Amino acid sequence: MPASVVGVVIALPALAEESPSTYPAPCDPVTVSKAEIERAHSVYLSGKQYLEESNYDKAISYFNDAYAIDCARHAILPIIATAYERKGDKGDAIRALDEYQRRAPGAPDHETIDRRIHNLKDQIAREGPPASASPPLAAPPVAVSSGQTPTAPPVEPTPGAGAAPTRPSSAAPLEPHHGVAPWALVGAGGAVLAAGLAILSTGFAEVANASSSCPLRSGCSADIVSKGNTGRTLVTVGYGVGAGGAALLGAGLIWHFLEASGTAPPAAAHAMPVITPGFAGVAMTGFL
């Protein structure tokens, strides 16, 4: 019986790498008009809505458009990186973060972004390249004795022929993103701080009125003495309340900035810097 040659074709999955995203050239904040700043913020808010709905391609498109309108708003780049990361494109996320580091070298979150880049590279290294397909093993020869009909070895069911295909395991959980909780704490702290300043102002006014009514502080009437004592008490209370509000406000801001590196409790919505006239980079306020 002539020998036959069986050709085996091995399909090697190609590792498709998306080309790095092209971002607009950075520009001077003074060249961006107030109308452009407001329009960029409006476009960003649309992208943020798509991000919350897990429509990552739409979110990335809107974030890129917002950055093209206000090319001085480099803080959008880490948000674009977050959308890529949640989509599963860790390479594009790293490229966006690297671009942010180059464009905003003096940003206060420089070390935080470095840790994000390092963590993403570690995740890629742990995942490793996909395994190549292995050629099918040849079936062992079947011994046939005289007078017997050879039988084929049993065939294992394949997906699509009665056996359910194996589903890949779920991807690694995504890193937490920004939420409203830190800003709620900042708002509460601001309100308490404002109340403390109001009490402090009232106390100083009472003390000033008592001093003007009895400048020598000798032989003063009981009413003037009472007003002076009340004013000093209000000053003490105002200092205490104001300090407590400042502490709450500071804690909220620290929570917000630590949350970007995954070191703080996760929240629902990702934060971005608020686009306001005259603001450059990420050194002042955050997007709402």
Mean pLDDT of 83-88: 95
- Please answer whether residues 79 and 260 qualify as being in contact, where contact means their C-beta atoms are separated by less than 8 angstroms: no
Residue 138 in tokens:
């040849």
Q: Assess whether pLDDT exceeds 60 at residue 213.
A: yes
The pLDDT, as a whole number, for residue 259 is 66
The pLDDT, as a whole number, for residue 273 is 47
The pLDDT, as a whole number, for residue 286 is 45
Residue 52 in tokens:
């919350």
Rounded CA gap, 196 and 164, in Å? 67
Give me the phi and psi of 267, to 5 degrees please: -135, 180
The pLDDT, as a whole number, for residue 245 is 80
- Tell if the pTM clears 0.85, that is, is over it: no
Q: Assess whether pLDDT exceeds 90 at residue 85.
A: yes
- Cα 264 to Cα 77, 108, 182, 253, 267: the distances in Å are 21, 17, 10, 12, 9
The pLDDT, as a whole number, for residue 57 is 96
118-148 per-position pLDDT tens digit: 999 999 999 877 555 455 555 555 555 555 5
Rounded CA gap, 202 and 199, in Å? 5
The closest of 281, 25, 4, 257 to 138, measured between CA atoms, is: 4
Coarse DSSP helix, strand, coil percentages of the chain, rounded to the nearest 5 percent: 50, 0, 45
The pLDDT, as a whole number, for residue 131 is 56
CB atoms within 10 A of CB 194: 13
